[in-house]
Structure 1
Amino acid sequence: MLVDSHCHLDFPEFAPELDQIVERARLAGVGRMVTISTRVRKLAQVLAVAEKYPDVFASVGTHPHNAQEELDIDAAALARLSRHPKIVAIGEAGLDYHYDKSPRADQFKGFHEHIKAARETGLPLVIHTREADADTAVILEEEIGKGAFPAVLHCYTGGRELAFKAVELGLYVGFTGIITFKNGEALRDIARDLPADRILVETDAPFLAPIPYRGKRNEPSFVVNTAKVLAETRGVSEAEIARQTTENFFRLFSKVPRVLPDDVRTAG
């Protein structure tokens, strides 16, 4: 079994054929999917997807792009919303200096509130960090010093130093279809060298479709292609990558049940 630890199934790109997309994932051996919140005020849409499918779960949080829109949503609010049985993570939250769609001060505030919520609830924080390695490392080190919390650097595109700092602090690192790209060699080098018990695979669908689907709409079934390249990169079998990343997922996303109702069909 494989897991897509990060996708956005509530996005409009999927609406016309969501049932078929979920079924294709199951047939490809994808046994769990986590659809990730980007705006707390649109959480109902995320939960509608998670509640429809027993193998789909959700997070609650505010993407750094939207931080300025939801400054009133604090750690207490996130913790309260996370009590929903289908919500298994906090986020995604963090820092994005590539687009800077929200002021950095607002991104910082949101990031800290999400960390507090992760620490309070014990749910993993899904961290978005882009072109913000130094500040992300400082915040993580400072906050871990106040008390540990589970987290993953999702869709990792940063440098070697931040990846290994995160692992040193007890965090996980998630890889997308970017590692399949021709220009993804530096990222593959990082993925090759990280500890086996700290890596996850994801799609970030509908974005970042792996080779041979690059440029098309991504979907959870394509996580198989990312896992294949990750296995080749690390010099292990695809079965071993599936076993290890799935075990890592359940260890981190501990609220997700390992056993689902019998009517959910998964291959492998």
Structure 2
Amino acid sequence: MTLTNENQPYVLVNTNNHVLWLSMNRPKERNPLSSAMLRALYGRIREASENDDIRVIVITGEGGVFSAGHDLKEMSGRKEHCEPDNEKRVKAVLDDCTQLMMSLIKSPKAIIACVQGTASAAGCQLVSMCDLAVTQDQAKFCAPGVNIGTFCTTPLVGIGRNMHRKHAMEIALTGDMFSAEDAMRFGLVNKVVKIEDLKNETEKLANKIAQKSAVGIHSGKLAFYQQIEESIEDAYTSASQAMLQAMLSDECEEGVSAFFDKRAPQWQGL
């Protein structure tokens, strides 16, 4: 069950046309990725990943900020906290964060970040770990750990796999905000739109993907994230094996038959 605070769910849930919308619901606190928020998102992602009726997941936020990243009060090692518990507490948050981030790439569903406002630190990391991202044109992105005497090391795991390393290091070394247009130029997001068009554009993208083969997307997504971390030789070996299995599947046979018959394919689960 989704955790609540002051009788409000951490994550608002809505489903439409096989698309699950998850909206982080702590706008007054700028949707921090606290341990409670991380667990709430993870629980919803895990449930959706096992639900055949869900074909695409969209992650967004309430209010003017997508996510300000980790809750600094929760992550702080300041002296007034009980020092023996500091390491355990911070490690637990980082473990919860890793669990959520890995669930995004391991999920068989396509996952889209719908960025309605600023995405900072772990919030920027969350955008980077989604398969696709659509952002409004006034959104900002940053990895500002350096500004408080630390470094956005874990956010750079995802950010650094989306963009050229020099861009990733620039935003981490300066801690500066960068624009939505820069985010697209760097490779962090796919599309920049006006705020009034954000939901519609994200919905159009999600609905388009939801009409594709869930079987094909599942196998293809897992194969992509496996091969992208391998050497080029190993990548061709693993991708070829995945392609072989896909081409010999019943789903592919239906797709090819539909192509030659000039009809809409009848995918499994639709």
Shorter-chain TM-score tier:
0.3 to 0.5
From the CA coordinates, give the structure whose radius of gyration is larger. Answer: 2
TM-score by length of 2: 0.34
TM-score by length of 1: 0.35
